[in-house]
Structure formats: structure tokens, C-alpha cells
Amino acid sequence: MEKALFAEFPPITDEQWQKLVLNDLKGAGSETLEWNTPEGILVEPYYRATDAPLLPVPVRPVGEWLIRQDIDATNTAAANLLALDALQRGATALSFYCPPNTDVETLLKDVLIEHIHTDWCINDTNTLEKLITLINVRGLDAKAVNGSVQFNPTDMVAYFNKYHNWLPGFKLFTIASNNAETLTEQTALQLKAANDIVAKLTNTGIKPTEALSNVKFDIPVGTDHFFEIARIRVLRSLWAVICKQYAPSYTTPALVHATNKKVLPEKDGYYEMIRQTTQALSAVIGGADSLSILPHIVTPDKSAAFQTRIARNIQLVLQHESHLDTVADPAAGSYYIEAITSQMATNTWKRFVQLVQAV
């Protein structure tokens, strides 16, 4: 039989806590320390186990999240050098922002795409065609080439039917972030967009599991540390609920990529380094599968390469020194985070239902 931890300490009731609070606040009461957030959540001054219902949040499997380097591919030769340098310095994923007719062969010269994850933000499918050609020329197994695509096709079903066969290891639909004012609204809108895609695909006879497995979420991470953690957990939890409606046996967690949101006006480099670190912590503790840290360029005469390296090293430190990749759900059991996750999930689901019913 396992021995209960701290069994020698007697349990403390809510009434005893309230009595201590009243004494410390000289009779004012704990409600004087409560505050409402833009998310419509009442934050209490303290939380106990009874305040924190545990949600069945599908989490990222234990293991390293992807350290993604975002690269502008306008100049493919220069972008290729940046990609190779990033991979040599610790990046495990690349994201390319491609203009029309990008020279994929030059862009991926010496890049072993079968060993990394690549994301593609494109304006037309010519870039995908060239990527498929490159995979075939290199004699690679298409299933071993993993990545995602951010693209808005005119014919969603035709796009899926074509490229799902040619790029079976890719998520073909990236649900981009939006400019809604609250995290609750942002999440509800993303869930609505993802649900619309799956509904449209399945209505044409595409298997629900195939449609669901081609969805990826891209979110910005701000500076509200605990609520950003909760937002990612809410997204994962509610997406799992939606998936069950299409395929009860589908258990694959949502694929979530996070990017730190730049805050203007920017401050000095040391301040920005701390901000980037707390944003990265929010993403990782929340359960992001991959993460981009946008570098802070202090002044034009500062080295962009150095700032990019610092931004990437933040993730390397969190992985190899803080070992946050060895815990599946670091936020689980935190009464405060569990409580706001539960409340945010309730509010987000209510808003999601409203959006769906409004159509």
C-alpha cells in the first residue's frame, strides 16, 4: 500500500481558511480580492482542490516539442542558408513563408526533410507541386515526410483529395489565429473554423478520421501567463469533444503550434528576452507541440543572427536544462490553472455552440 504524502498534517477545512483570511484582512472578506477578467472569469484570491475539477485534457506525449525556425523564403538561396544554420544550431522544424512559384529545390538544398518537420505558408499550390516533385526525385517515402500547409483553397474538397494522397504525412489545413479581443472568442472561432472544414469534407464522403487528422491549430501566445496556459488546454480539450462527435474512437490529440506574440512598443533586449521566455513557458506548459520564438531586433545595427540565436536558445534551455519535455502535462493538479481552464472551457464551448447555431 502506498503511503499518503503529508499524512501527519491534519486536513484544513474551507471554514478554517476563510477564518484566516478574515483575520488577515481585518474582517474585509476574501471577496475584496476577487477580480473579473476579460474572459468573463471571476478569479479568486486562493484555490483549493474542490475548486479545480480536472478536465480530461489530451496532452502532448512526453518528449521534446518541435523547436521551429520561421524563415522568409522570398530569397530562396539566402533562406536555404538560414535553414541549414538553424538546423545545425538546434532547430527541429522549419517554417517557410513562400511567395508564388518558390524555387523549392534551391530552398531545400541539403535539407533532409525526411528527418524534420516542415510547415509551408503558401499563396498557390505550385509550391506544393514542386515539393512533391522533390520528394519523388529524392526517392523518399512520402509518409516519412511530415509537415503542414497554411493555404486557403478555393475548392477545399478537391484540394484535400489531391494532396492528401501525395502528402500523407502533412496536415493540409492550418487553422490560423484571429484578432478576437479575448482568448475565449479566439478559441471558439478557431474551433468553429476547424469544425466547418471537417463537416464539409465528411459531407462529401471523406472518412472522419482522415478529415480530423488533417487539422492543425496555430495560435499566438501573449503575456497573460496562466490564461495562455489555460487557453491551449481548453483548445485541446474541446477539440477532443468535437472529434468524438465525428469519430468516437478517434483519440489523437490536436496538433498545436504556438508563436510568441510581439508586444508593442518593444523594450530593451533584456526585457524582451524575459518576455519571450515567459511566453515560451506558457506555450510549453499548456502543451504546444511546436513553438516559434520571434526574435527581438533591438536596433538595425544589432545582429539579427544573434537575436535569432537567443530566441532559439530559450527553447533549448527549457528542453535540455529545465527538462519540461519530460512531463506530459505540467499544469495538471494546479488548482488555479485547473479552475480557470474549466471556466474558460465552459465559456468557450457556449460561444462555439452560438457560432455554430448562428449559421
pLDDT tens digit string along 24-70? 888 777 788 888 888 889 888 888 888 877 777 777 777 889 999 99
Backbone φ and ψ of 167, nearest 5°: -125, 65
Number of neighbouring beta carbons within 10 Å of residue 62 = 10
**Overall size of the chain counted in residues:** 359
- Rounded Cα gap, residues 267 and 284, in angstroms: 24
The answer to whether the beta carbons of residues 98 and 109 sit under 8 Å apart is: no
For the chain, the maximum distance between any two Cα atoms, rounded to a whole number of angstroms, is 76
pLDDT in tens, 77-96: 999 999 999 999 999 999 99
pLDDT at 252: 85
- Rounded Cα gap, residues 244 and 48, in angstroms: 31
The pairing of beta strand 42-43 with beta strand 35-36: antiparallel
- Rounded Cα gap, residues 97 and 303, in angstroms: 22
pLDDT at 1: 47
C-alpha cell at 114: 525526411
Average pLDDT in the chain: 90
Backbone φ and ψ of 122, nearest 5°: -130, 160
- Rounded Cα gap, residues 103 and 130, in angstroms: 8
What does the radius of gyration of the chain's CA atoms come to, in whole angstroms?
23
Which range has the worst mean pLDDT, 115-129, 204-218, 253-267, 305-319?
Answer: 253-267
- Rounded Cα gap, residues 124 and 115, in angstroms: 25
In three state form, how does the secondary structure of 117-132 look? EEEEECCCCHHHHHHH
pLDDT at 263: 65
Task: Give the residue, 273 or 213, on which the prediction is more confident.
Answer: 213
Note the pTM of the prediction, 2 decimals. 0.91
Please choose, from the candidates 89, 96, 204, the residue with its C-alpha nearest in 3D space to the C-alpha of residue 155: 204
Number of neighbouring beta carbons within 10 Å of residue 100 = 9
Binned at pLDDT 50, 70 and 90, residue 284 comes out as: very high
First to last CA, the chain: 55
- Rounded Cα gap, residues 204 and 246, in angstroms: 14
Domain 66-330 part of CATH 3.20.20.240: yes
